[in-house]
A and B are shown apart, each in its own frame.
Chain A
Amino acid sequence: MHLGESTRECEYSQISTRSSTPMETPYKKKTPKKRKWETFPGRNRFYCDGRIMMAKQTGVFYLTLVLILVTCGLFFTFDCWFLAEQLTPIIPVIGAVLFLFVIGTLLRTSFSDPGVLPRATPDEAADLERQIDVANGSTGYRPPPRTKEVVINGQTVKLKYCFTCKIFRPPRASHCSLCDNCVERFDHHCPWVGNCVGKRNYRFFYMFILSLSFLTVFIFAFVITHIILNSQRIGFLSALKDSPASVLEVVVCFFSVWSIVGLSGFHTYLISSNQTTNEDIKGSWSSKRSKDNYNPYSYGNIFTNCCAALCGPLPPSLIDRRGFIQSDAPQLAPPTNGLPMYGSTQSQQSHKQVNTVDCHLQAKAAHCDCPHNSGVLLQGVAHHTGRGPEPRTEAESHVRARFGAAAARQIHLKARGGGISSSPWSPLQIILMLGLN
Chain B
Amino acid sequence: MLSSMKEGCHDPKTKQTQLLKPGRRTKASGVFHNLQEMQHCASLVTKVFIQRDYSEGTVCRFQTKFPSELNIRIERTLLEETVKTLNSYYMEAEKIGGQSYMEGCLACATAYIVFLCMETRYEKVLKKISGYIQEQNEKIYAPRGLLLTDPVERGMRVLEVSIFEDQGSAGSSPSSTLSSDSSAR
Contact = CB atoms under 8 A, between A and B. Distances in A.
A313 B121 contact: yes
Contacts of A172: 58
Interface string B152-185: 1111111010100001001111100110010110
A205 to B, nearest CB: 12
B133 interface: yes
A336 B175 CA distance: 10
B177 A296 contact: no
Given A312-B104, A336-B177, A427-B39, A121 B54 contact: no
Instruction: Identify which of B45, B122, B155 gathers the most chain A CB atoms within 10 Å of its CB.
Output: B155
B54 A152 contact: yes
Interface string A387-430: 00000000000000000000000000000000001101101001
A104 B112 contact: yes
B47 A120 contact: no
B43 interface: yes
B101 A307 contact: yes
Instruction: Identify which of A121, A157, A172, A304 gathers the most chain B CB atoms within 10 Å of its CB.
Output: A121
A333 B43 contact: yes
A135 interface: no
Interface in A47-86: none
Nearest to B107: A314
A124 B55 CA distance: 21
Given A311-B100, A422-B47, A124 B158 contact: yes
Contacts of B149: 433, 437
Contacts of A434: 35, 39, 134, 137, 147
Interface in A277-325: 296-297, 304, 307-308, 310-316, 318-320
Interface in A162-194: 167, 170-172, 184-185
Contacts of A237: none
A296 B58 CA distance: 10
Interface in B1-58: 35, 38-49, 52, 54-58
Contact of A316 (B46, B122, B130, B181): B122
Contact of B172 (A297, A313, A336): A336
Contacts of A203: 104, 108
A422 B44 contact: yes
Nearest to A108: B112
B120 interface: yes
B44 to A, nearest CB: 4
Contacts of B103: 311, 313
A296 B155 contact: no
A161 B150 CA distance: 23
A150 interface: yes
B93 A313 contact: yes
B: contact size bracket: 35 or more
Nearest to A432: B39
A157 B54 CA distance: 10
A166 B134 CA distance: 28
A316 B105 contact: no
Nearest to B152: A318
A311 B155 contact: no
Given A316-B123, A335-B177, A150 B46 contact: no
B117 interface: no
B115 interface: yes
Given A130-B184, A170-B52, A207 B108 contact: yes
Contacts of A270: none
Contacts of B134: 434, 437
Interface string A34-46: 0000000000000
B58 A313 contact: no
B174 A337 contact: yes
Nearest to A104: B111
A437 B133 contact: yes
B80 interface: no
Given A307-B101, A434-B134, 4 more contacts: A297-B57, A308-B96, A318-B152, A424-B44
Interface of A: 100-101, 104-105, 108, 117-118, 120-121, 123-124, 127, 130, 150-153, 157, 159, 167, 170-172, 184-185, 203-204, 207, 296-297, 304, 307-308, 310-316, 318-320, 332-333, 335-337, 339, 341, 421-422, 424-425, 427, 430-431, 433-434, 436-437
Interface of B: 35, 38-49, 52, 54-58, 93-96, 100-101, 103-105, 107-108, 111-113, 115, 120-123, 126, 130, 133-134, 137, 147, 149-150, 152-158, 160, 162, 167, 170-174, 177-178, 181, 183-184
12 contacts: A118-B155, A123-B160, A171-B58, A203-B108, A297-B57, A310-B108, A311-B103, A312-B100, A313-B121, A314-B107, A319-B155, A336-B171
Q: Which 9 interchain pairs have the tightest Cβ spacing?
A: A311-B104, A333-B43, A104-B111, A118-B155, A424-B44, A318-B155, A437-B134, A311-B101, A335-B177
